[in-house]
A = this chain, B = another copy of it.
Amino acid sequence: MTPMTQNLPHPRRNLANEIVSVLRSDIISGVINPGEALAEPVLAKRFGVSRAPVREAIIELERAGLVQFETTGRTRVRTLEEKDLAEIVETRIALESMGARLAATHWTPEHTLRVQQFIAEQEAATTDEEFSLLDIAMHEYIMKRSGNERLVVLWQYIRWQFEMALTYIHRLQINTAHDLRRFTVAGHWKVLETLAGRKPEAAAKVMSQHIIGSLEWSVTETTEHPPAAGSAPRRGNLAKMKRASRASS
């Protein structure tokens, strides 16, 4: 690990935080695979630190749901089954539809401008990664407009799990289908319309449908280019999730 630039006013847990960032992105991006073991001494050596900060980092990753403690005490990267994907999406809808609802209640024209900019950048994005990053950034922006810090914090954790899941859904799919992009951008316009119109209920509903819709497209596209053996989620639970989506209306 790069010798930390010290003396920066980080709230607490300096080394641990840096380690968390690295490991989290490793897990989300699939550099470390689900089921893989995370041993404290090994990581300590990798990062050139003692076990203490590594241990704290691992606790934080467990909090985020990216890692799982076994009864023996060992730690593994969490594996994802179909049920997990359903849970993640349901939870994301719960948090994000409430986020959109609250955001709509005190939305301003400046916020509209910012979101329009996000959408424009997304339309101009050249790589899938750029598109995806902008998507997340925009959802985060809207969540923060809710003004509810707790909601944002919980959403962050679910979001990371969602990103991790997407990595495995998309693992064998080289390019994001152009249609998915169009679908996503269209969804964003609809969401923005409800926010700008300060219609909380509509915002919550449209956001739910946008989330479930995007996922359905992703999974559909992926299963057409068949994914990794058995590990990736299939479409079985989508009907249930769609019900949950119509949910928050």
Contacts and interface: CB of A to CB of B under 8 A. Distances in A.
Interface of A: 9-13, 52, 55-56, 59-60, 63, 65, 69-73, 86-88, 90-91, 93-95, 97-98, 101-102, 105, 148-151, 154, 157-158, 161, 200-201, 204, 240, 243-244, 246-249
B98 A94 contact: yes
A131 B182 CA distance: 53
A101 B201 CA distance: 17
Given A151-B91, A151-B94, A105 B59 contact: no
A93 B102 CA distance: 12
A185 to B, nearest CB: 26
Given A98-B248, A204-B248, 14 more contacts: A9-B71, A10-B69, A11-B71, A11-B72, A11-B73, A59-B59, A91-B148, A93-B98, A94-B98, A94-B151, A98-B247, A150-B161, A200-B243, A204-B247
B11 A90 contact: no
B88 A150 contact: yes
A49 to B, nearest CB: 16
A9 to B, nearest CB: 6
A150 B63 CA distance: 11
Q: Which applies to chain A's interface (DSSP): helix, strand, loop or mixed?
A: helix
A88 B101 CA distance: 15
A240 B150 CA distance: 17
A150 B91 contact: yes
A153 to B, nearest CB: 8
Contacts of A13: 59
30 contacts: A9-B71, A10-B69, A11-B69, A11-B73, A12-B69, A12-B73, A13-B59, A56-B56, A59-B59, A59-B60, A87-B150, A87-B151, A90-B148, A90-B151, A91-B95, A91-B151, A91-B154, A94-B94, A94-B97, A94-B151, A97-B248, A98-B248, A101-B244, A102-B244, A105-B240, A105-B243, A150-B161, A201-B247, A201-B249, A204-B247
A85 to B, nearest CB: 11
A85 B249 CA distance: 24
